[in-house]
Amino acid sequence: MRMNEGLFNGYVVLAFLLAVGGGALGASLGTSHRRLCALISLGAGTLLGVTAFAILPECLEAVQWWAVLLALGSGYAVFALVTRYVYHVCPACAASHFDEATAHHFSEIAAAMMLALSIHCTADGLALAAGHEAHAAHAPGGRLLDVSLVMAVCVHKVPEGLALGALLLGAGFKRAQVVLRVAGVEATTLLGGVVGWLFLRHISAVWVELVVAHAGGGFLFLAVHAVIGEILKHHKALVLTSFGIGFGAIGSLTLFLRLF
């Protein structure tokens, strides 16, 4: 058993609690679209940052470039297919489409929306497990990857919970119902962590790196679609600034960890 169970469990539970806290805050206070755009763009910047500064360098050091590219593409493709045929895995995209369609058809799309976000959350938990396993297995750059993944996932969990809570509140659910539904969806983060913990400790380091790259492909999809969707519609300067702060924060963190 290579994983530090207590530390890993703490990471996954923290991510879950942050998302539920965001959902509870959204259910209690509501949230403006402008504020939600800023928070989601900040989270998207951290996801792209961890992909560019931690996932790709770590994986390219351990695995051939074409295998990393395939794994990255598979992660992107999974989220693209879920978005196309189920519902939007990107909270910002879901929020925009919610505004257009939910008032009259929420009962028809609620289950699909929660299913899509559950797939997203499961991938978050799996990514945390993969990063922690890479660290525990003493892979090159594993500590940097582990810490930056935890930071990126936790940062984007708050606006993710806020977005889902705001959508459900706007659809007419009572606050207690909103929090319970957010907790139910976000509990799949715990599920992804458990699946990763059970599975990844029994496979080779190369496959762990490919799972990390697969998660990076999903992060890339989320980052691109969150930012492009909002730049084309709302608050261009705010979105770019928030995205740049998140991206720069992960870049600074990885530089610090490499030096120290």
Residue 117 one-letter amino acid: L
- The residue range of the domain holding 253 is 5-259
Tell me how far apart the alpha carbons of residues 24 and 20 are, in angstroms, rounded to a whole number: 6
pLDDT at 92: 57
Q: Report the chain's C-alpha Rg in angstroms.
A: 17
pLDDT at 109: 60
pLDDT at 230: 64
Tell me how far apart the alpha carbons of residues 230 and 93 are, in angstroms, rounded to a whole number: 8
pLDDT at 74: 96
What is the total count of domains within the chain? 1
pLDDT at 79: 92
DSSP secondary structure code for residue 204 in this structure: -
Which residue from 48, 19, 17, 32 is spatially nearest to 222, judged by alpha carbons? Answer: 48
Neighbours of 260 (CB within 10 A): 5
Any residues with CB less than 8 A from the CB of 141 and at least 6 apart, and which? Answer: 54, 57, 58, 61, 134
CB 196 within 8 A of CB 129: yes
pLDDT at 29: 62
pLDDT at 67: 95
CB 5 within 8 A of CB 194: no
- For the chain, 260 residues long, give each residue's pLDDT as a single digit of tens: 445 566 667 888 889 999 898 888 877 765 566 777 777 888 888 999 999 998 999 899 888 999 999 999 999 999 999 888 887 777 655 555 555 444 455 555 666 777 888 889 999 999 988 888 877 665 556 677 888 888 888 888 888 888 788 777 766 778 888 889 889 999 999 999 999 888 888 888 888 889 999 999 999 998 888 777 666 666 788 888 989 999 999 989 888 877 77
pLDDT at 163: 76
Longest CA–CA separation in the chain, Å: 55
In this prediction the pTM is: 0.84
pLDDT at 103: 47
Contacts 24+ apart (CB under 8 A), 65-69: 67/210, 67/213, 68/209, 68/210, 68/213
pLDDT at 215: 92
DSSP secondary structure code for residue 52 in this structure: I
**Burial letters for 167-195: b for 16+ Cβ neighbours within 10 Å, e otherwise?**
bbbbbebeeeebbbbbbebbbbbbebbee
Tell me how far apart the alpha carbons of residues 83 and 116 are, in angstroms, rounded to a whole number: 7
Which residue from 75, 72, 104, 102 is spatially nearest to 87, judged by alpha carbons? Answer: 102
pLDDT at 168: 76
